[in-house]
A and B are shown apart, each in its own frame.
Chain A
């Protein structure tokens, strides 16, 4: 972890008179997996949109790879990609064509697009000529989300943003996909920001958890080590502390259990 891939410095974002993000500062280092954790309305999606460059901060500065993602929108081409809560696959493109979307935009020829897309589908455990040619409506929810993750990783971005990417899947599928994705991202050394409202997801995947309380300001920062993740007592204590910082119980815990 040598340099900051993302830097937010005293960032505010107002919608009218309503502050969605207030005086938010943090940095994400290269190769780090950071979870932005908060309840609905805590401002985590607003923070994500500012990192993506689709929303301009009202105050403060946002830097991604040293660039202003809003003002220098095109300069971050190929350096940043996003996977969303719902898969958002283009219905007219097959699985491999969806994965190749970013490569198409980056100007790769069709043969390269196809071979790299198939390679990435294999990385997310979608194999077989028949499966890669399927259209989104022919895939299960879990497979569609895997395609969405492969699409985000296929352009070899420096930064991967996940916006509640696992929250619409059933518990078993979500757990398997989280494990596969985390292993893949760590192996590739990608920097990743995970937006979630589930404490267990954050504790399982992230190196560092930034807990946001509405309007988005840093309420707690937790570093998660491999030893801590293996210790049920430590996990339980962190879970309680994070829940308190978020302002209540983890609403998904019962469901997840």
Chain B
């Protein structure tokens, strides 16, 4: 979306880069990524010439393994993606609601805040071990681990967002005498959307890694579990193949979040500081 900012009324703020400049940035990033990927591939291939296959397999072997995974084991990729998306979606809703309650219900604020902060201090590994003891079902275990790790991020960021709500905007909405639900729908919800998206953007990569880790520790399905199996069988090309696919899944999910952000926050000015 194009934006117009008058430099005279907004000193220190430059208009956003024109579309041509944006394309140049994209081209530069693309070239950079291709070069880095080629260098990593070349490094791995060169290493495979001197190292045994259980240390560093060749690119061809790894490529074959990836193809095999995509044909025979794709269900584990789908399982991991669904677990990740479901847990993130649930955490987004639950964490945001907790953040809203923390932000607007004054008597509850110190108690919920203390609980959330304590939860953030519990190591992820402890939650994984608790999950193994507490839940028999594999899906419940992964879901629990991801939810307890992700919910506090949403809760704290949404809480901060509500604290940053402009009193000017509250006052202008209140002049029309809205109900509490209307204040939430018209003011609080749109105001916290950037905070929710920012949190999702920050945690999605971490959540993808945590999903694989939780699968490795607590279940026998999904990309993490299959990676663990490959390691047990000293199948290094399998470990690398699953890793590459995890990176691709991670980048794909991040691209979806970036797309959602661009659509939902189209009202925000794009500015650059001199």
Contacts and interface: CB of A to CB of B under 8 A. Distances in A.
A210 interface: no
Contacts of A186: none
Interface stretch (A25-33, A136-144, A200-208, A238-246): A136-144
Nearest to A75: B177
Interface residues of B, number: 25
A73 B269 contact: no
B190 A90 contact: yes
Interface in A71-119: 73-74, 76-78, 80-82, 84, 86, 88, 90-94, 101-102, 104-106
Contacts of B174: 54
A90 B175 contact: no
A91 B267 contact: yes
Q: Which 8 A-B pairs have the closest CB atoms?
A: A77-B177, A137-B269, A88-B172, A105-B176, A92-B190, A82-B175, A102-B176, A135-B267
9 contacts: A54-B171, A74-B177, A81-B176, A86-B168, A90-B173, A90-B186, A93-B267, A105-B177, A105-B186
A155 interface: yes
Interface of B: 3-6, 9, 168-169, 171-178, 182, 186-187, 190-191, 193, 266-269
B168 A106 contact: no
Nearest to A134: B4
A90 B178 CA distance: 15
Given A88-B169, A90-B169, A104-B182, 20 more contacts: A52-B175, A73-B177, A81-B175, A82-B172, A84-B171, A88-B171, A88-B172, A90-B173, A91-B267, A91-B268, A92-B190, A92-B193, A93-B190, A101-B176, A105-B173, A105-B177, A105-B186, A135-B267, A137-B3, A138-B269
Contacts of A138: 3-4, 269
A202 B36 CA distance: 67
Given A88-B168, A135-B267, A140-B6, A104 B175 contact: no
Contact of A84 (B6, B172, B176, B182): B172
B267 A92 contact: yes
Contacts, number: 66
A138 B190 CA distance: 19
Contact of A104 (B4, B168, B186, B190): B186
A102 to B, nearest CB: 4
Nearest to B6: A140
A84 to B, nearest CB: 7
Interface of A: 52, 54, 73-74, 76-78, 80-82, 84, 86, 88, 90-94, 101-102, 104-106, 135, 137-138, 140-141, 155
A141 B8 CA distance: 11
Contacts of B267: 91-94, 135, 137
Given A54-B174, A88-B172, A101 B9 contact: no
Contacts of B171: 54, 84, 88
Given A86-B168, A90-B169, A76 B177 contact: yes
B190 A141 contact: no
Given A137-B3, A140-B6, A140-B9, A84 B177 contact: no
Contacts of B266: 135
A137 B176 contact: no
B5 A137 contact: yes
A77 B174 CA distance: 10
Contacts of A94: 267
Contacts of A73: 177
Contacts of B193: 92
Contacts of B3: 137-138
A102 B269 CA distance: 25
Given A90-B187, A91-B268, A140-B9, A105 B182 contact: yes
Contacts of A91: 267-268
B25 to A, nearest CB: 22
Contacts of B173: 90, 101, 105
A74 to B, nearest CB: 5
A52 B9 CA distance: 31
A158 to B, nearest CB: 14
B267 to A, nearest CB: 5
A92 B191 CA distance: 8
Contacts of B182: 104-105
Contacts of A92: 190-191, 193, 267
Nearest to B270: A137
B176 to A, nearest CB: 4
Contacts of A52: 175
Nearest to A52: B175
A150 to B, nearest CB: 13
A106 B187 CA distance: 15
B11 to A, nearest CB: 14
